[in-house]
Amino acid sequence: MTMIIGMVAVGSGCKSKKKAMEAAAAEKARLEQEAELKRQQEEAARREAEERARREAEERARAEAAAPRAKLEQYFSTIAANSGNVASANRSISEALTLFASDETPVLIVISESGGIKDYDRPTTIKQYLEYLKDTGKNVNRIGNIQYDSAGKITELELIK
């Protein structure tokens, strides 16, 4: 009889060990799944942050590229509007010239375009064009293409009539 009790005790001990091992394996699997889920969430958050940073950098680059164009348009309008006040117009001309590589920067005025081929008016310089705006008081051309040097100064300006 003691033998039977011993066998039952040993048998039930094996079942407990087996259940304990199964429980430990299940717990380990659950922990691994949680760790994998956490890793995936962190990876998704990292990708989201990188994408957001990329979008913000692109937006800043667009804003920086548009800033000289907007400044230039503002200077052109101001010079034309202040044509009656020579001192103010000359001050605006001096400020506008700081955006350019030199006073002799070419200004090309597109008078027509057909099939991708542009027809230009007689070339002028930025200094002459700004003086023209001051003299006429009319800013009728819009900015087309702007080319910059490595220092960010304008080296060529294309206007569209």
Condensed to tens digits (0 to 9), the pLDDT of residues 90-107 reads 999 999 999 999 999 999
Q: Is residue 11, in this structure, part of any structural domain at all?
A: no
Total domains in the chain come to: 1
pTM of the model: 0.59
Structural domain includes residue 56: yes
- Is the residue at 6 inside a domain? no
Q: Does residue 8 fall inside a structural domain?
A: no
* Full domain range(s) for residue 126: 18-161
* Inside any domain, residue 12: no
pLDDT value of residue 15:
67
10 Å CB burial of residue 142 (0-12, 13-18, 19+) is exposed
> Please, which pLDDT band fits residue 126 given cuts at 50, 70 and 90?
very high
Binning the chain into helix, strand and coil, the percentages to the nearest 5 are 65, 20, 15
Residue-averaged pLDDT of the chain: 84
Domain presence at residue 86: yes
pLDDT higher than 50, residue 6: no
109 phi and psi angles, rounded to 5 deg: -110, 115
Over residues 142-161, the mean pLDDT reads: 90
- pLDDT bracket for residue 70 (50, 70, 90): confident
Largest CA distance in the chain: 124
* Total length of the chain: 161
Residue 159 has pLDDT above 80, yes or no: yes
